[in-house]
Amino acid sequence: EVAVLRLGHRPGRDERITTHVGLTARALGADRVILAGDGASRADTVEDITDRFGGPFAVDTVDSWRPTLRDWDGAVVHLTMYGEEVQTVESEIREAHRERRDPLLVVVGAEKVPFDVYETADWNVGVTNQPHSEIASLAVFLDRLFEGRELDREFEDAEKVVVPQAVGKRVVDAGDE
Ligand code: SAM
């Protein structure tokens, strides 16, 4: 399992960002997003997309992220601009995860992430050591983790399927592709 834990949602300011963390986790091959604290308010939007475009993808909400992090039974990757370069540690992380018995938790922040997260993580990973975004770092990290295979994933139990077009938009009911 690969789960994404979103910490530190700021009401008002982070609504779309937290939604996009969930949608990106789903689209790029994670199995689950865990929305902590006020971020739980975005669960319905992510679940609605899963209902329409398929899964499996789980959305969990927790009051506080600390127990999830502390009790995680597997490896923890914290994405941070201060971390080790993704290109240096990606193969080590892939190997640790290859045995699917070792579930991977990918942690992304919003505002300043408390230092104990850095200490708890098995890897602090930077997607470049430049400041940017939790959505961008999550997307690149998942693509590296899955070595691009997530792009070919087939979603199950979808109501709607997008048919790729060079120009224009084509969305059909599932089963009619
Ligand atoms: N300045 C904050 C700090 O010191 O923790 C981080 C703010 S940043 C807008 C929000 C989140 O984006 C971070 O918690 C981290 O998960 C992610 N992020 C931003 N830049 C990153 C990078 N270069 N590599 C990995 N993750 C990054």
Residue type, 60: D
> Ligand 1 in contact with 106 (CB < 6 A)?
no
5-9, 99-103, 172-176: least confidently modelled range: 99-103
CA-nearest residue, atom 22 of ligand 1? 81
Measuring from atom 16 of ligand 1, which residue has the nearest CA? 108
Question: What is the reported pLDDT for 98?
Answer: 79
For the chain, domains (ranges, CATH) are 2-173 (3.40.1280.10)
Q: Specify the pLDDT at position 96.
A: 87
Work out the mean pLDDT of the chain and round it to a whole number.
Answer: 96
pLDDT for res 53: 98
**97 — pLDDT class (breaks 50, 70, 90):** confident
Model pLDDT, residue 122: 97
Residue 102 confidence (pLDDT) above 90: no
Sign of CA dihedral 11, 58, 134, 160: negative
Ligand 1 near 110 CB (within 6 A): yes
Q: Above 80 in pLDDT, residue 86?
A: yes
Q: Is the CB of 13 under 6 A from ligand 1?
A: no
Residue percentage of the chain with pLDDT more than 90: 93
Task: Sort strands 171-173 and 160-162 into parallel, antiparallel or unpaired.
Answer: antiparallel
**d(Cα 120, Cα 110) in Å, to the nearest integer?**
18
ipTM for the predicted complex: 0.94
Helix, strand, or coil (residue 174): coil
Q: Give me the pLDDT at residue 99, please.
A: 66
Of the CA atoms within 13 Å of residue 74, those in its CB half-sphere come to 21
- Mean pLDDT of the 166-173 span: 96
